[in-house]
Amino acid sequence: MPTRTTEHGREYKVDGKYLVWTTDAWEDEKSSTIRLPLRIKLGAIVKIAESGDLNNNATQLEILLAVVPMAREALEDMDVNDFRAMFETWLTTYNTLTGTGLGE
């Protein structure tokens, strides 16, 4: 799985089914690897469509928890800047692969 780089130099991977993001570690904690699916169940898509503003951190967290509920602890422990970069990268990758935006 080749490593890709965001426009800001942050590395991540895409294996065709998942975007794989390694979180920034806090001083006293280890980093976590989060696998965000690039194929999403219809029920999650409907919830996403109803969520509202995709630029809002709370909305972004709600969306990702609908898609990967088992990652709650890792997502909630992320630095907000790392979280936003991950969400934007995932959203862009999803839109590119599907040819449409989330919830459309």
- Read off the pLDDT of residues 19-65 as tens digits, 9 standing for 90 and up: 999 988 777 777 889 999 998 888 777 777 777 777 888 888 988 99
Tell me what pLDDT residue 29 has.
74
**Secondary structure letter of residue 24 according to DSSP:** P
The mean pLDDT value for 4-18 works out to 88
Q: Say what the pTM is.
A: 0.84
Mean pLDDT of 73-78: 90
Tell the residue number behind the tokens 């969400």, with chain if given: 87
The H or E element containing residue 19 is strand 18-22
E strand map for 33-97 = 33-37
- Average pLDDT over the chain reads 85
Closest CA to 21 of 32, 30, 37: 32
Average pLDDT over residues 59-75: 90
pLDDT at position 89 is 94
Q: Angle, to 10 degrees, between the axis of helix 42-51 and the axis of helix 57-67?
A: 170
- How many Å is the Cα radius of gyration of the chain? 13
